[in-house]
Structure 1
């Protein structure tokens, strides 16, 4: 399995012969999506920086709802949570997506999670090997809450997303008031920095590993 962090909450995943893109963004974010071809694209919610499905090449099939999906042979579970701490009253709903058994690995993308997970949320999400979680705060959980949720889920690998970075800040039009990844890292511990993650079930770490992937913008 290969995972690249395009930027923000958008990732490119290659596994089982399928190409998957999560939460593509439009140019209102301050920079444009690179040209990417995919078979499947997921959108956690309807905001401009997470739902630019039409920007993905290759005529992909999209998943935008909660529930159980089988798309081109890939099992995807959507778990409805909220974009805020007021049960969606401020920013609406958010779907967490779990890609089940991709080359034997469960990959979970949290979208714009806005709260600590309940017992029912955790039961619906199930076991996770690779977790992509927002850590920048303001629109999502704060860095300390992201550490808490990470410990709730207890993945093998955690990949932070939705934070301000050197790659995004070099674009003058990018101005989201979110924190850098360092605030999360200072709380959770050591991290490895990579251009992309290449992983297989047989080499998943025994102890949780934090991986910061370079954004591709």
Structure 2
């Protein structure tokens, strides 16, 4: 089968069905595991047995680039379409209103507004990952391998319509693909704690909501981006608030505009200095 469920080494103790107990183990390459944890170690390809290592000299450079390159397209609102080197298609905060060029294999959702989820996803979608649990306050937990993508989530709280906070109502989804750590903040409503940052780990690419305060103001969002130190920051959510957001962050990050609809990126091509890249359509 294309998909297997996987559990982060330090994260979840699985009980119950034999199928769950036999699920494959996937170790995050983006998340540093403290040596002090029982049986824990820092995730490292060099120390991981059984994983294939692609050597640059072993094959033509063009073939290697194909295996390393992730394609990212801004579809609309908070939906990005991510295509892995193996062809797995992932749509973020998928509502069905903003549709990628093909039916995604995987969709993630958040429930802050109906523009971030759908209760009737296309039947052809193989994995539907909601960022919230149906049990109030309970954390949604996703650790899934689909093809060459490993997908996990870190929950945060959201504001409800009456101004109160709903515990664990939003998820930051992290996509680990071709050595890249790609994070989508969803409908983030508050600054992150040290515990959140530890769960997230390294993010090379960060998808950030820009809306003038419906999620968080540019000041707070810039502190999150500063702490994560992502090489590439992709704005989303509200194009009308983009200019103000860029104006507030212009001194901290380089600002570029995508020349093509599809953003092609790999570990080799990440910018050396943290850069906000405005996608076409934003």
Equivalent residue runs for 1:1-217 within 5 Å: 1-17=70-86, 18-27=88-97, 33=99, 36-45=102-111, 47-52=113-118, 54-56=120-122, 58-65=124-131, 66-73=140-147, 74-84=149-159, 89-90=164-165, 93-100=169-176, 102-165=177-240, 180-189=241-250, 190-194=254-258, 195-215=261-281
Question: Paired residues, what number?
Answer: 195
Give the whole-Å Cα distance in 1 for the aligned partners of 2:112 and 2:217.
Answer: 21
CA contact (8 A) 1:8 1:161 kept: yes
**Cα pair distance change 1:150/1:215, threshold 3 Å:** same
- Per-residue deviation, residues 40-69 of structure 1 (Å, max 9, x unmatched): 111133631111264557333111143341
**Cα pair distance change 1:19/1:53, threshold 3 Å:** farther
Structure with bigger RCO (C-alpha 8 Å, 6+ apart): 1
Task: State which structure, 1 or 2, has the greater radius of gyration over its C-alpha atoms.
Answer: 2
SS in 2 for 1:3: strand
Taking structure 1 as the reference length, the TM-score comes to: 0.81
Give the CA RMSD over aligned residues: 2.3
**Cα pair distance change 1:56/1:209, threshold 3 Å:** farther
Taking structure 2 as the reference length, the TM-score comes to: 0.63
Runs (4 or more) in structure 1 with deviation over 3 Å come to 32-36, 53-58
Give the whole-Å Cα distance in 1 for the aligned partners of 2:249 and 2:74.
Answer: 20
| C-alpha displacement of 1:148 | 1.3
| C-alpha displacement of 1:35 | 5.4
